[in-house]
A and B are shown apart, each in its own frame.
Chain A
Amino acid sequence: MKLITVSGPPSSGKTAVILQVAAHFRTAGKSIGAIKFDCLSSCDDELYERNQIPVKTGISGNLCPDHFFITNIENGLRWGKKHGFDVLFSESAGLCNRCSPHIKGICAVCVIDCLSGINTPKKIGPMLKFADYIAVTKGDIVSQAEREVFYAGIRRVNPKATVTFVNGITGQGSFKLAKFLAETPDTDTLEEKYLRFSMPSALCSYCAGQTRIGERYEMGSVRKMAFDDETGGGDAK
Chain B
Amino acid sequence: MSAGMSAAAGAAPGAAPGTATGTATGSGRVGDSPRRVGGHDRVTGLQRYVADLHLPDELHARLVTVPVARARIVTIDASAAERVPGFRFVMTAADLPQPMPRFGPQFRDRPVIAVGETKYHGDPVAAVAADTRDAAEEAAGLVRVDYEELPAAFTVAAALDPAAPLVQDPSLRPNDPLVGTNVLREHRVGWGDVEAAVADLVVEQRYTFPMVTHFAIEPHAYIVAPDGDGIAVWSSIQHPNWLQKVLAELLRLPLSKVRVHSPDPGGGFGGKQHTKYEPLVAFMALRAGRPVRLVLTLEETFQAVRRAAAEVRVRTGFQSDGTLAFQDIEANYLIGAYADIADRVVGKGSYPGCGPYRVPAARILARSVLSHTVPSTAFRGFGNPQVNWAVESNLDEGARALGIDRLELRLRNLARPGEAFIPFDTPCDGQWEQSVRRAAELIGWGRPLPAGHGLGIAVGIKSGPTTGLSYATVRLLVDGSVIVFAGTSDMGQGARTVFAQIAADELGAPLDAVTVVMGDTAIVPYDQQTSASRSTVLMGNAVLAACREIQGKLRAMAARLHGLDEATVMVDRGVVRLPERELTILEVLVPGLGRLGGELIGNGEMRKDAEPDHPLGGSAAFFEFNCTAVEAAVDEETGDVTLVHYATVSDVGKAINPLQVRMQDEGAAIQGLGHTLMEHYIFDESGRIRNLGAIDYRIPTSLDLPLEIVSEHVENEDGPGPYGSKGMSEGALLCVASAVGAAVRDATGVAIRDLPLTPERVWRALQERP
Bound pair (A, B): no
- B residues sitting closer than 8 Å to A (CB atoms) are none
